[in-house]
């Protein structure tokens, strides 16, 4: 309804990190009439990057690559890596640290071109103004130029 949309917009404007079901739907439940509908839909609560593994299978080295920018991505010598490539930026981290992705948001907001968090011996060659955020990796080289991302073990 228009009222639910208005309330959700208020929450977004305040930049509150709260889910829509808690922020709006639970508060409006008394004002809503919900009817069951028969369906064969499957529910999947995609709460993080790794949950997308159901829709984006990992490669032979168990690297999960989410390439929304549709660029060429080469990964060599690495396993269990999460690569998220969007128009806004690139995230690289071990899959078991995917929940830390929100830590790189500050770098995006500051318009940085590269940022590392809890990394050692990471070389980033970024030939564009696009953001690259790397979390929790050791001994890698990242080379990015428009249309091509190369990630390799040193």
81 assigned to some structural domain: yes
Q: Has residue 40 been placed in a domain?
A: no
Domain annotation covers residue 105? yes
Does pTM surpass 0.85? no
Question: Pick from 89, 58, 57: which is nearest to 71 by CA?
Answer: 89
Domain that residue 137 falls in: 49-153
Write out the chain's pLDDT in tens, 154 residues: 566 666 666 666 666 666 666 666 666 666 667 677 777 767 666 667 777 777 788 999 999 999 999 999 999 999 999 999 999 899 999 999 998 988 888 787 888 899 999 999 999 999 898 999 999 999 999 999 989 999 999 9
Is 149 part of any domain?
yes
Q: Give the distance, in angstroms, between the CA of residue 23 and the centroid of all CA atoms in the same chain.
A: 22
Whether residue 147 is contained in a domain is answered as yes
Residue 8 lies in a domain: no
Count of domains observed in the chain: 1
């Amino acid at each position: 309804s228009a009222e639910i949309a208005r309330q959700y917009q208020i929450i977004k404007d305040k930049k509150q990190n709260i889910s829509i079901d808690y922020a709006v739907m639970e508060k409006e439940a008394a004002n809503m009439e919900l009817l069951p509908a028969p369906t064969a839909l499957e529910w999947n609560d995609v709460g993080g990057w790794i949950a997308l593994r159901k829709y984006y299978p990992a490669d032979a080295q168990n690297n999960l690559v989410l390439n929304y920018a549709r660029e060429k991505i080469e990964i060599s010598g690495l396993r269990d890596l999460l690569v998220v490539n969007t128009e806004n930026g690139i995230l690289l981290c071990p899959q078991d640290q995917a929940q830390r992705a929100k830590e790189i948001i500050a770098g995006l907001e500051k318009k940085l071109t590269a940022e590392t968090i809890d990394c050692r011996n990471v070389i980033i060659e970024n030939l564009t103004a696009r953001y690259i955020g790397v979390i929790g990796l050791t001994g890698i080289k990242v080379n990015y130029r428009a249309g091509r991302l190369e990630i390799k073990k040193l």
